[in-house]
């Protein structure tokens, strides 16, 4: 992930958490999740009357990222789920 971000962003943008966050979503599609990389995953399921469930995922890397903070990735659009 860090190699992808460093390739996409100039050094001054690597110091900007917002730029890193915006670029991380494109890198996430290119970089597979590797075994042994500690992450915390949050899953939220919302069920409204008469509608299919709404599911959101967020993956947060446990190690500090390039700018020293923790990098979190939201999966948007969320996956489509159907109640059976």
Residue-wise pLDDT for 11-52, tens only, equals 888 888 888 878 887 887 777 666 777 888 888 888 888 777
Please tell me the pTM assigned to this model.
0.57
* Main-chain dihedrals φ then ψ at residue 5, nearest 5 degrees: -65, -40
Task: Select from 63, 51, 76 the least CA-distant residue to 1.
Answer: 63
Beta-strand runs (E) in the chain: 39-46, 54-64, 70-74
């Amino acid at each position: 992930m860090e190699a992808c971000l460093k390739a996409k962003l100039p050094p001054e943008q690597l110091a900007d958490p917002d730029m890193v966050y915006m670029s991380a979503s494109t890198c996430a599609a290119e970089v597979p999740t590797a075994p042994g990389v500690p992450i915390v995953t949050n899953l939220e399921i919302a069920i409204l009357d008469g509608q299919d469930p709404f599911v959101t995922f967020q993956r947060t890397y446990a190690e500090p990222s390039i700018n020293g903070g923790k990098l979190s990735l939201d999966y948007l659009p969320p996956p489509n789920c159907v109640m059976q």
